[in-house]
Amino acid sequence: MLQLEEARERVLAAVRALPSERVSLVEAMQRIVAADLAAPLDLPAFDNSAMDGYAVRVADLKAASAENPVRLDISQHIPAGTEKIAAIGTGQCARVFTGSPAPAGADAVVMQEDVVRENNTAIFRETVKPWENVRLQGEDVKAGAVVIKTGERVTAGTVALLGALGISEIAVHRRPTVAILATGNELREPGQPLQAGEIYESNRAALAALLAEAGALPRLFPVIPDVLDETRQALRRAFDECDLVVTSGGVSVGELDFVKDAFRELGGKMEFWRVAIRPGKPFMFGSLGEKLLCGLPGNPVSAFVTAAMLVWPVILRLQGARDVEMPSQFAIADDVFINKTDRRHLMRVRVDGNGHVSLAGLQASHALGSLAAANGLVDVPAGGMIERGVTLRVLRFSA
């Protein structure tokens, strides 16, 4: 049985990033960049005023004080967006607004609140420091600087910067289409009446919801009965139509667990089976040509947790992401976390807004009430205990 770290390494080693496509800046949000992007221009692109006020020559105001006010001629008005502007000479200043280009000769802007205006003259009662209230060309971003690197994620902040640089389209990796399959004779579609012994199929929706957060384009396939032929046919179709195949159920040791056999019959290569985690031991991973199969256990919490730990990184790496970790945060334990078993336990927890974390409820692998109450997972080592008050890392699968 593999440890989680080894399983993650083996899974990631098998993934190749999908090809890139060009998308508009707004569509690029949350996508992974496929090529380094350099700034095509300086930001600011030209020296400009940070204030509504008067562009001046510092030397002209050297002697200015309340007792000795200095008068300068207002030689021009420069609204933002002005194209050609004249230089200001000694004894002159220019009326400027936030974003107005600084005229040649000016080396500071005095805010209008500090200036008294008389017709075409401005009166100054204070000195000004060189480049005060001037935004200098290139002080934010220099032309040619790499502003986002291959493998990084586009955030709202990146969109803002790229927009200011005039970039309207960028190359990002394609998002993977992910076939989501569920096996089990006992499973009914939600919305249908249940017969005795049947349960509602819930893993497909849950996995689609979770994996979409990582950037997957989920496609739900019909429920597969526990029959070898039908399992093989469903897998065949899923591999034909999608970039990645994720199944739930049918990977344990029961005689009705057909996913592994069906996959082998298709020519699939089983890379490994079983990982030393709780919940979720019977996870299987295989490859069929270029494509991959993640076979998750059927128990809904096991399926969810193994998807979070092992499929999430696959989805990100398929998109070319360098960082494939789930978001995480440090929090202070408000409960004691005890794991008496010989496998590490990924416990369902809830972190509050003040960074305190407590158990979300019943931790059995079928218990969904605690999964719904949880917003994260805590990794408690085999035979280990985490005391109250300890700071620990929480993997966040939901806000």
280: amino acid identity, one letter: G
Residue 220 or 373 having the CB closest to Mg ion: 220
* Beta-carbon contacts of residue 345 (< 8 Å; ≥ 6 apart): 277, 278, 339, 363, 379, 380, 382
| Interface with ligand AMP (CB under 6 A), residue from 1, 116, 199, 372 | 199
Greatest Cα-to-Cα distance within the chain, rounded to the nearest angstrom: 98
| Cβ 216 vs Cβ 315: under 8 Å | yes
Question: Binding to ligand AMP (CB under 6 A): which residues in 202-221?
Answer: 202-203
At closest approach, how far in Å is the CB of 309 from ligand AMP? 17
Number of H helices, E strands in the chain: 8, 28
Residue 226 beta carbon to Mg ion: minimum distance, rounded to whole angstroms: 6
Residues 223-252 that bind Mg ion (CB under 5 A): 249
Q: Identify which of residues 96 and 301 has a Cβ nearer to ligand AMP in the complex.
A: 301
d(CA 325, CA 67): 64
Establish if 44 lies at the interface with Mg ion (CB under 5 A): no
DSSP 301: H
Q: Are 195 and 185 in contact (CB under 8 A)?
A: no
Toward Mg ion, which CB reaches closer, 184 or 295?
184
Q: From residue 213, give the alpha-carbon distance in Å to each of 192, 254, 328, 331, 348.
A: 28, 32, 14, 22, 18
What is the DSSP secondary-structure string of 50-96?
Answer: SSSEEEE-GGGGTT--SSS-EEEEEEEEE-TT----PPP-TTEEEEE
Nearer to ligand AMP, 92 or 248 (CB): 248
Would you say 257 and 283 are in contact if contact means Cβ atoms under 8 Å apart?
A: no
Give the shortest CB-11-to-Mg ion separation in angstroms.
23
Q: What pairing do the DSSP bridges indicate for beta strands 356-359 and 328-333?
A: parallel
Q: Is 298 in the site for ligand AMP (CB under 6 A)?
A: yes
Of 281-300, which residues contact Mg ion (CB under 5 A)? Answer: 298
Pairwise CA distance, residues 304 & 370, whole Å: 12
Q: List binders of Mg ion among 174-193 (CB under 5 A).
A: 184
User: 3-state class of 248 per DSSP?
Assistant: strand
Q: Report, in Å, the least distance between residue 238 CB and ligand AMP.
A: 15
Which of 152, 186, 198, 334 touches ligand AMP by CB under 6 A? Answer: 186
Which one of residues 182, 246, 293, 333 is an interface residue with ligand AMP (CB under 6 A)? 182
Before 279, cis peptide (omega within 30)? yes
C-alpha 99/C-alpha 81 separation (Å) is 8
| Binder of residue 243, out of ligand AMP, Mg ion, none (CB less than 5 to 8 A by kind) | none
| Chosen residue from 48, 49, 137, 299 binding ligand AMP by CB under 6 A | 299
Work out whether 363 is an interface residue with ligand AMP (CB under 6 A): no
**Residue 198 and residue 185: Cα distance in Å, rounded?**
8
Residue 207 beta carbon to ligand AMP: minimum distance, rounded to whole angstroms: 9
Q: Which stretch binds ligand AMP (CB under 6 A): 25-33, 96-104, 292-300, 345-353?
A: 292-300
Site string for ligand AMP, 127-166 (x = CB under 6 A): ----------------------------------------
Q: How far is the CB of 215 from ligand AMP (least distance, A)?
A: 23
Among 101, 151, 184, 279, binds ligand AMP (CB under 6 A): 184
Specify the residue, 187 or 378, whose C-beta has the smaller distance to ligand AMP.
187
In the bound state with ligand AMP, the residue whose beta carbon lies nearer, of 53 and 297, is: 297
In this complex, which beta carbon is closest to Mg ion, that of residue 109 or of residue 301?
A: 301
* Cβ neighbours around 192 below 10 Å, total: 10
Q: Quote the CA–CA distance of 55 and 82 in Å, as a whole number.
A: 14
Site of interaction with ligand AMP (CB under 6 A): 182, 184, 186-187, 199, 201-203, 248-250, 252, 297-300
Site of interaction with Mg ion (CB under 5 A): 184, 249, 298
